[in-house]
C-alpha cells in the first residue's frame, strides 16, 4: 500500500516537473507553467476572478447544480430501470426510444436547451441527460442479474411477487444501482462545463473557464480544469467508500 502511494507521488511530481520545464522552455504566454497555475489558484481563492467571485464559490455553485440534476436523474432513472428490469415488456416498449437517444451526447442538446429553456433548467437538462442513462441501465442490469436460485428460495417458502421483489430482487440489485448512481454522478459532473456555457449566470467552474478563456487567462482555464478533475475524483472516491461499507457482503466492489 505504501509502495503504491510512493509511485503515485512520484508520477505526480514528475508530471509537474516536466510541465514546468516545458512551459519555461516554450516561453509562450499561452502555455502557463505549473507555478503560474499555482499563483492563479492563490489569486482566485483569495481575491476572486474579475468579478470577485472566489474559487470555492464557483465550486459550490457547480456542485449544487450537478446535485440537483443528479437527484432528478436518480428519481427518474432508478424507478424506470426497476420497471424495465422487472417487466420485459416495459423495456421492449421503450427500447426503440432509449437506445438511440442515449447515444446523443449531452453537448448535442445544447442548441435545443438554449432555445427552448431558460435559466436553471438549462443546467439541469444537460446534467440530467449525462447522469440518467448510466443510472437507468445499471439499475435494469442489476435487477435482471438477480439469481434465479435465490428467487426460487423465496418461492419455495411461498413468497408472493411483492415480497420476492422486496426481499430478494431489490437487495440483490442494490449494489449495481448504487454503482450506476456513482457513474451517473461522474458523467453528470463531466457535463458541468457544457451546461454552464449556456447557463447564463457568471458563477460556476465551467463559467470560470469560459470567462478566463475570453480574457486569455490560460492559467485560470487550467485551474478550472484541475478543480473539476479533483472534485470529480473526490466525489467518486466518497461514493466508492460508501459502497464498500454498504456492500461488504459482496467482498469487493467492482470499479
Name the residues that contact other proteins, by CB under 8 A: 149-150, 152-160, 163, 167-168, 171-172, 174, 247-251
**CA distances (Å), 237 to each of 68, 106, 240, in order?**
20, 24, 5
Closest Cα partner for 145 from 60, 73, 86? 86
Give the CB-side neighbour count of residue 135, counting CA atoms within 13 A.
26
Distance from C-alpha of 186 to C-alpha of 209, rounded to nearest angstrom:
19
CB-neighbour burial class of residue 248 (10 A; exposed 0-12, middle 13-18, buried 19+)? exposed
CB of 181 to other proteins, least distance (A): 18
CB of 152 to other proteins, least distance (A): 6
CB of 208 to other proteins, least distance (A): 43
Q: Which is nearer to other proteins, 62 or 146 (CB)?
A: 146
Q: Which is nearer to other proteins, 30 or 249 (CB)?
A: 249
Cα dihedral value 234, 235, 241, 247, nearest 10 = -160
**CA distances (Å), 154 to each of 38, 67, 148, 211, in order?**
59, 37, 10, 59
CB of 74 to other proteins, least distance (A): 21
Q: Which is nearer to other proteins, 35 or 172 (CB)?
A: 172
Q: Which is nearer to other proteins, 86 or 169 (CB)?
A: 169
Q: Which is nearer to other proteins, 114 or 247 (CB)?
A: 247
CB of 83 to other proteins, least distance (A): 22
Amino acid at each position: 500500500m505504501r509502495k503504491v502511494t510512493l509511485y503515485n507521488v512520484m508520477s505526480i511530481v514528475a508530471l509537474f516537473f516536466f510541465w514546468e520545464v516545458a512551459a519555461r522552455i516554450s516561453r509562450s504566454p499561452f502555455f502557463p507553467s505549473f507555478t503560474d497555475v499555482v499563483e492563479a489558484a492563490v489569486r482566485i481563492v483569495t481575491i476572486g476572478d474579475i468579478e470577485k467571485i472566489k474559487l470555492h464559490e464557483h465550486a459550490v455553485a457547480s456542485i449544487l447544480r450537478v446535485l440537483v440534476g443528479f437527484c432528478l436523474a436518480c428519481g427518474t432513472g432508478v424507478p424506470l430501470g426497476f420497471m424495465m428490469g422487472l417487466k420485459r415488456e416495459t423495456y421492449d416498449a421503450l427500447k426503440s426510444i432509449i437506445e438511440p437517444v442515449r447515444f446523443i451526447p449531452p453537448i448535442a442538446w445544447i442548441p435545443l436547451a438554449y432555445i427552448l429553456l431558460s435559466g436553471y433548467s438549462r443546467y439541469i437538462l444537460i446534467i440530467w441527460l449525462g447522469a440518467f442513462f448510466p443510472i437507468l441501465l445499471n439499475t435494469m442490469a442489476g435487477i435482471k442479474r438477480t439469481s434465479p436460485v435465490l428467487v426460487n428460495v423465496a418461492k419455495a417458502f411461498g413468497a408472493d411477487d411483492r415480497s420476492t421483489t422486496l426481499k430478494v430482487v431489490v437487495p440483490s440489485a442494490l449494489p449495481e444501482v448504487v454503482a450506476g448512481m456513482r457513474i451517473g454522478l461522474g458523467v453528470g459532473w463531466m457535463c458541468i462545463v457544457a451546461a454552464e456555457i449556456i447557463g447564463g449566470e457568471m458563477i460556476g467552474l465551467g463559467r470560470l473557464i469560459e470567462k478566463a478563456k475570453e480574457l486569455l487567462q490560460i492559467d485560470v482555464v487550467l485551474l478550472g480544469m484541475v478543480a473539476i478533475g479533483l472534485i470529480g475524483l473526490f466525489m467518486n472516491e466518497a461514493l466508492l467508500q460508501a459502497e464498500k461499507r454498504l456492500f461488504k457482503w459482496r467482498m469487493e466492489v467492482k470499479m
